[in-house]
Amino acid sequence: TDFDSKKKRKVAEIYQALNSDPIDVATLRRMAISEGGLLTDEIRCKVWPKLLSVNTDDLPPLPAGKELREDNKDYQQVLLDVRRSLRRFPPGMPDDQREGLQEELIDIILHVLKRNPQLHYYQGYHDIVVTFLLVVGDRLATALVEKLSTHHLRDFMDPTMDNTKHILNYLMPIIDQVNPEVHDFMQSAEVGTIFALSWLITWFGHVLSDFRHVVRLYDFFLACHPLMPIYFAAVIVLYREQEVLDCECDMASVHHLLSQIPQDLPYETLISRAGDLFVQFPPSELAREAAQQQAERTAASTFKDFELASVQQRPDTVLRQRFRERLRGEERTKSILTKPRTNRFVKLAVMGLTVALGAAALAVVKSALEWAPKFELQIFP
């Protein structure tokens, strides 16, 4: 069938990118984003480390679990969360196999926390770790989760929720750009953004019951900017526009509606839309509305360095690029500060512009990785 031949072509293209020298990370990112994602767990084991710049030839041995548990302040909480994580394992998995995996899950989490004392455990973290464990096994999962925790998830692992709240603050400006009516309705209902908290901090792992959908989203998020999950959250809300507007306009009703995530979402369409919105309204353009005073402190602001490192460039090109970006950033700051806001009632016909996502994927990877330019603080009231 047509689908099978498309799939075969994609598999061939992925292996070609993996086997080229140096590895073609840009193509791997594009494959992870485009329709169907990385297709199989076997491919994910090879591609996920490349997307995160993790060297699989040099994985540290795992420490013995016993010594990790003895004096770990997070052990009790991790244990409780992992015990409650039954539904994250495939239905029908034998109990002893699942219990073995749960032990491995505890060890991975404690290992990463022990090696990175600056990271603080949060409830929901285990939902991300278990996804990696089930796809790539414990040793590789440990390395990937450690890299992820010091980069993409860094903001959720602060001692306070400030940076997490800050990322949630991007949700409403994105919705506002696309559908002012939904935005204003949600503002009137005073629903806030807490309904999307568990989506964001577990990369949707906690709220989607079908594991295939979860790993498909992980392909997408691993290939993109750390803020992509919040764009995806916005796209889910926008997709439910009619249900939202038909709801009673009060906090309890709207919160209840939005926090129950439908399981039959058209994932490929929504991934494509999230990519579109990211390209059209990159974080730097939404930053002022999200009151981005702490751009410097959030992990998303270091993504540029991370992304450059993963392309294995020579340091001098990185520095030259930095300098050019700084000049461009200063120009951009000037233009953003003087640009009048577009009429927000012109409902944007943006959805599905690049359903094929080829173009958007490239743009997401190349241009839109800019993080907010450093605004002077007095801009903010």
pLDDT, tens digit, 9 for 90 and up, residues 158-198: 998 888 988 999 999 999 999 999 999 999 999 999 999 99
Tokens representing 346 are 């012109």
Indicate the pLDDT class of residue 86, thresholds 50, 70 and 90.
confident
**Burial bucket for residue 139 (CB in 10 Å: 0-12, 13-18, 19+):** middle
- The answer to whether 232 and 225 are in contact (CB under 8 A) is no
| Every domain of the chain and the residues it spans | 1-153, 161-281
Q: Look up tokens 């490349």; give the residue.
A: 50
182 Cα distance to chain centroid: 24
Confidence (pLDDT) at 278? 92
- Residue 367: how many other CB atoms lie within 10 Å: 10
Query: What are the CA-CA distances from residue 29 to residues 57, 223, 225, 281, 362 (Å)?
Result: 21, 5, 11, 20, 9
Indicate the pLDDT class of residue 67, thresholds 50, 70 and 90.
confident
CATH number for domain 1-153, candidates 3.40.640.10, 2.60.40.10, 1.10.8.1310, 1.10.10.10: 1.10.8.1310
Rounded to a whole number of angstroms, the distance between the first and last alpha carbons of the chain is 59
- In this chain, the answer to whether the domains covering 1-153 and 161-281 adopt an identical fold is no
Mean pLDDT comparison of 71-75, 97-101, 335-339, highest-scoring range: 97-101
- Which 3 state secondary structure label does DSSP give 370? coil
Q: What is the CATH number of domain 161-281?
A: 1.10.472.80
Torsion angle of the four alpha carbons 37, 357, 227, 36, in this order, in degrees rounded to the nearest 10: -10
- The answer to whether 166 and 290 are in contact (CB under 8 A) is yes
Indicate the pLDDT class of residue 326, thresholds 50, 70 and 90.
low
188 Cα distance to chain centroid: 28
Confidence (pLDDT) at 271? 95
Mean pLDDT comparison of 78-82, 85-89, 325-329, highest-scoring range: 78-82
Indicate the pLDDT class of residue 30, thresholds 50, 70 and 90.
very high
- Residue 249: how many other CB atoms lie within 10 Å: 14
pLDDT, tens digit, 9 for 90 and up, residues 201-227: 999 999 998 999 999 999 999 999 999
In angstroms, the CA 210 to CA 204 distance is 11
In angstroms, the CA 48 to CA 222 distance is 7
Q: Look up tokens 């906690």; give the residue.
A: 206
Tokens representing 190 are 């005073």
